[in-house]
Amino acid sequence: MNTDTFWQLIDTARAADAPLQEALTDLLVAQGEEQVLAFEVCMGRLDTVIDRWDVWAAGYLVCGGCSDDSFMDFKAGLISLGRTWYERVARCPDDLAEHPDIQHAFATGVGEAVFCEEMGYVTAAAWERLTSNRDSFYPALDHYRVGHGVRNQDHDMGQGFDFDNADEMRQRLPQLAALYLEGVQR
């Protein structure tokens, strides 16, 4: 599955009159088993791009802390926002401060805006609907990766830094820090 097809499926699901995860699962079921696996591989590639300390720091500010499990949900949530926002945040995580969901969450005091745990499981859910066997998803995914020459991507998370150092966060993520450390309403 190419990246354009991946994002078309995300956009179609976002436009549906159903929760994103349900709509996306339905779309993936209609694509068939091989495309479910291909979607998962593509999502893994996109996840790797944003698997960086600066993106993690953004999630840390938005949620008031961010464990490694929460970071997985945050990255899944960034992907669920669609291509435009995903690419924008991949270029500059601080731009997330301008996203309407972040603005709303800050204004209302709701935590965990953009975090989307369910997004990380849509392919397994689609696989289960197609095969009636959720347990076979990961072995099938491993077989697919081998058969298509997909290797784990080496990547650099960038320079680590102390998320609890407010000055460092203000320097690296000034817009998010203004919201979450200073409480500046726009």
Q: What is the pLDDT of residues 3-24, one digit of tens each?
A: 999 999 999 999 999 999 999 9
- Residues with pLDDT less than 50, the chain: 185-186
In the block, tokens 């077989």 appear at 143
pLDDT tens per residue across span 103-131: 998 888 776 789 999 999 999 999 999 99
The residue ranges of every structural domain in the chain are: 3-180
Regarding pTM above 0.85, the answer is: yes
pLDDT at residue 155, as a whole number: 87
